[in-house]
Structure 1
Amino acid sequence: MSTATLELQGLNFNLSEEHLAVQEAARDFAQNELLPGIVERDNEARFPTEQVKRMGELGFLGMMVSPDYGGGGMDTVSYVLAMEEISKVDASCSVIMSVNNSLVCWGLEAYGSEAQKQKYLTKLASGEMIGAFCLSEPEAGSDATSQQTTAEDKGDYYLLNGTKNWITNGNSSGVALVIAQTDREKKHRGINCLIVEKGLTGFTVGKKEDKMGIRASDTHSLLFTDVQVPKENRIGEDGFGFKFAMSTLNGGRIGIAAQALGIAAGAYELSLKYAQERKAFGKQIFDHQAIQFKLAEMATRIEAARLLVYKAARLKDEHKDYVQAAAMAKLYASDVAMWATTEAVQIHGGYGYVKEFHVERLMRDAKITQIYEGTSEIQKLVIARELIR
């Protein structure tokens, strides 16, 4: 693979020409196809149907999936490069992309049967349909072991009952990976993951959440009432579900870290541009030391976050232990995203408080990166456990 050098604030990363091509393609797509209409989609909480279709056509929904199943066969570094560029503009689209890539496609390819891959993964990787990952419940968010959704073993099928909350792609997905308790006495060893097709009797979509940020992505509750799920739709052996969920989330954290990085970088780029255009007291506001210091610290923290994200991605690609690196990347990048977007609004002054300048949306979008796929507090627990493991 031929290589080129990408310089990031004086540090050199050896990225392949393919990596740089993916980054450029994602940047062009974000600027040319996501940016137009983004304020309206946010205002109306309107799912970006056409934009998601284009992501599928461009290969952004199955980036790491093997070409044998219709995917791009790319590495995790390519994925985070694309996530960063898309998240600079549209975090709603990037979370749709993240769930489909990191949680649904990756989980199916890593642990699904050949029949499951042929039936579902090929459609998910190509964007013919998108998937949902269903772990959180009304009483089981960070405490993922407390699953109240049940999958009762009926011999050749499971009888699924329960409710899942905060499900990204909840209404737009064609298939959902549902974590459910089969044997309560076995606790987390009695949990399974089932592939549940939309349209099965008893599978209904609940209300759409009216969210502070990532408003164009559809977040719903999913309800299961005596849904009969064929036994062949169980991923892995009986009782593998909890391990499946935790392993999948470890990789998903890299995607969300890249999303947070992109949100922060997008806010920084808008702020730098604004600071060179806006004048106050007879000169560009960039010439005021107070603004220079804000931008300098933004650039520094974003660069540190980028290093953590890239490190986690490279460890995953090299098949090394990346659990701690992924948790560190998500913890730090999400904090940087929240801080940097708040600073961006401050730099913009009154203009930062209105929607057409975009930074207020980025600030609203940033907050969720500290919450989903493991809160910041959970990341600290993961890191602490890894320190003494």
Structure 2
Amino acid sequence: HSVFDMSPPYGSLVPYGEPSWYRGDHDSPYYNQSHRDWRDRCRKFVEYEIIPYVKEWEEAKKVPLDVYKKLYKAGLTPCVVGERGFDFADPSVAPKPKGYDVFHELILLDELSRCGSGGVVGGLVVGYSIGLTPVMNFARPSVRDRVVPACLRGEEFISLAVTEPQTGSDVASIRATAKLSADGKHYIVNGEKKWITNGIFSDYFTTAVRTGPEGMSGISVLLVPKGPGVTVRQMDCQGVWSSGTTFVEFNDVKVPVENLLGKENEGFKVIMYNFNHERWGFVVQAVRFSRLLYEVSFKYAQKRKTFGKTLIEHPVIRWKLAEMARQIEGAQGWMESLTHQMCTMPPKQAVLMLGGPLALCKAHCTKMFEYCAREASQIFGGNAYTRSGLGEVVERLYRDVRALAIPGGSEEIMLDLAVRQANGQYKMAMAGKL
């Protein structure tokens, strides 16, 4: 495949309605035939197994559990937790893509996001990507080898439980406690967790608890099974209805000491290890959601007439569409550049060097998502204010904006983090330490 290969465009015929490498007259150094084959597999699944049911699942506020088994059998679930996920998959599952890299995961998340629902995407992948990944990376082999395959198969479910009623982006201030039992065989967990995605149907909670002094040096992470003392209550939120956002209470919950992830009082490292990956996931969703809002707006502008003209014939509407496309194309390039660094940079170095850029990119992309949702609403007018009909996708995504802008670090926290890291790197460079 070369830049001179004028193959037909893939997917939407709307200019800028798909990433540039989908277009037949564009080439990219990031993607090869393996990525194109994987894209085909992902799109087929989303078109037939997800998109027709999005409204039904959102209104029901849950994704049917059998969908997770279908996702697994299609060989898509393991990709959500990275290449190692395929090591825990059954031989009967569709195989790992050849030459697997992070761009395969980007393609999966991007294609899933075409469904136009943050709730459905969150319901399908968040438990795996942020709840199961720490188990895969930090659990004892006996725990890992039991929990990871069962979750990937869709037989059991997991969620990340860090956020509390009084503690969001300030992770070091969590209050939930875990105290060692008298016989030293269990941790006794007490506390509350809030806004826990997938929590309502989870069998396990990857839980941040306080086992030591105040601050980050007193935090541990436990894999808490759902059992006596664990109470869950689904929350009624503005958006992402089908993601299973949950309030969780732990009352004297006994957790085997074997379920400690990493070392005691070193849980902050466990949490931080996956933060870049979590924020990158929000970036991918925000870019595709923005692109989808642009695409449906462009199509609507071809048909809707005002004052004897279609909307696309009005300069003000063309300006809105151009602004959306301009931001989306720029964000796509930034996202792909950072994804390339995730492919090539050693993991420990990536945790340090990509934290600031990914934080900045997340803030940029969620602001763009909010902008595109607003402009799409303006183009659709009253049709964007109803939960069905022509503007259904626009109405739903507008409600989902905050669920990307706040979790994983609010825009304010992300912007501050990026500049604090930049300032630290500048001082080190000036001192000749870089």
Q: TM-score, normalised by structure 1?
A: 0.92
Match of 1:370 among 405, 409, 418: 405
In the other structure, the counterpart of 2:432 is none
The one of 125, 147, 155 equivalent to 2:174 is 147
Amino acid across the alignment from 1:170: G
Q: Does 1:334 align with 2:366?
A: yes
- Are residues 310 and 113 of structure 1, via their aligned partners in 2, closer, same or farther at CA, if it must alter by over 3 Å? farther
**Offset at residue 8 of structure 1 (A):** 6.6
State yes or no: 1:347 paired with 2:379: yes
2:177 equivalent to 1:177: no
Contact 2:140 2:259 in 1 (8 A): no
Query: Superposition pairs for residues 294-313 of structure 1, below 5 Å?
Result: 294-313=320-339
Deviations 1:348-381 (A, max 9, x none): 1222222222211111112211111111111112
Partner of 1:192: 220
Contact 1:52 1:93 in 2 (8 A): no
Distance 2:27 2:342 in 1: 20
User: What's the CA shift for 1:146?
Assistant: 1.1
**TM-score, with structure 2 as normaliser:** 0.83
* Paired residue type of 1:345: S
Aligned positions of 1:123-142 closer than 5 A: 123-142=150-169
| Pair 1:173–1:56, CA change in 2 (3 A) | farther
Gap runs ≥5 in structure 2: 6-19, 91-95, 425-434
The answer to whether the 8 A contact 1:84-1:262 is kept is yes
Uncovered stretches (5+) of structure 1, i.e. residues with no partner: none
Q: CA deviation at 1:216?
A: 1.2
3-state DSSP of counterpart to 2:274: helix
Whether the aligned pair in 2 keeps the contact of 1:88 and 1:264 (CA below 8 Å) is no
8 A contact 2:132–2:159 mirrored in 1: no
Q: 2:88 aligns with which of 28, 49, 69?
A: 69
Moved more, 296-305 or 81-90: 81-90
User: C-alpha deviations, 1:2-57, integer Å up to 9, x for none?
Assistant: 99996378874220222222323333333332222322332332334343333233
SS in 1 for 2:159: strand
Aligned pair in 2 of structure 1 residues 311, 248: CA closer, same or farther (>3 Å)?
Answer: same
- Aligned-residue offset at 1:278: 2.2
**Pair 1:323–1:97, CA change in 2 (3 A):** farther
Does the CA-based 8 Å contact 1:311-1:325 persist in structure 2?
no
Matched, 1:20 2:20: no
Cα deviation for residue 202 of structure 1 reads 1.1
Return 60-69 or 247-256, whichever deviates more: 60-69
Matched residue, 1:92: 119
Contact 2:109-2:281 within 8 A present in 1 as well? yes
What is the number of equivalent residue pairs in this alignment?
385
Contact 1:86 1:262 in 2 (8 A): no
Q: Greater shift after overlay, 303-312 or 289-298?
A: 303-312
1:230 aligns with 2:246: no
Q: Is the 8 A contact 1:250 1:323 kept in 2?
A: yes
Candidates 105, 108, 112, aligned match of 2:132: 105
Q: For 2:204, give the aligned amino acid.
A: V
Q: Does 1:279 align with 2:305?
A: yes
1:261-280 to structure 2, matched below 5 A, reads 261-280=287-306
Alignment deviations for residues 161-191 of structure 1 (CA, whole Å, 9 cap, x no partner): 1111000011112211000000125x31121
- Distance in 1, matches of 2:42 and 2:304, equals 29
Q: Output the CA distance in 1 between the equivalents of 2:163 and 2:177.
A: 13
Amino acid at match of 1:195: L
- Let me know the Cα RMSD of the aligned residues: 2.3
Match of 2:53 in 1: 37
CA contact (8 A) 2:83 2:101 kept: no
